[in-house]
Amino acid sequence: MIGLVPIGDTDISLLESLRAPLEEIFGQKSRIADKIPLPKESWHRDRKQYFASSILAVLPSPSLSADGVLGVVDVDLFAQGLNFVFGQADVTGRRAVISLYRLRQEFYGLPHDEDIFRQRALKEAVHELGHTYGLGHCPNPACVMHFSNTLSDTDLKGWKFCSVCKRRMEV
């Protein structure tokens, strides 16, 4: 079971749209948990961003019935040493978080495109959940586990695992 956790003002319909593809990719059911508030202590006033690790810390740990937990936020995230992140995973805790904030065309001054936005959200969700299953970054730029330093990197990769990563998932 994969737990999907909306955090703060996150649109539940997006999480609903992620369920079927995540279930197909990971071969297990998913469920949307109750919404939790965005932790106030994660806000970094000087950067005007939220610290991803602080958000990960408030995510519930997977229960015996869940293999992983994915939090979804609609705020700008950063990690230590990085200007921003699309997501972050706590591999040992099997928890991850993704941010929708920079996945929208509008962030870059472009017209809204719901299909592109949802594809990007799915890629980031699969990527971060892949980390919770023990996968590292993949050198194959078409693999969902390839590191996305820019949105172009996310757009270029697919939403599925390459054959190497898929084999690693099956072990």
What's the rounded Cα separation, in Å, for the pair 16 and 31? 9
128 tagged catalytic: yes
158 conformational bin, left if phi > 0, alpha if psi -120 to 50, beta if neither: beta
Question: Could you tell me the strand order of the sheet in which 43-44 lies?
Answer: 43-44, 49-51, 77-78
| Nearest of 109, 110, 122, 118 to residue 158 by alpha carbon | 122
Task: Return the amino acid letter for 15.
Answer: L
Cβ-contact 59, 33 below 8 angstroms: no
What's the rounded Cα separation, in Å, for the pair 100 and 10? 9
Of 41, 124, 128, 170, which residue is the catalytic one?
A: 128
What's the rounded Cα separation, in Å, for the pair 36 and 60? 10
Point out the residues that are catalytic: 128
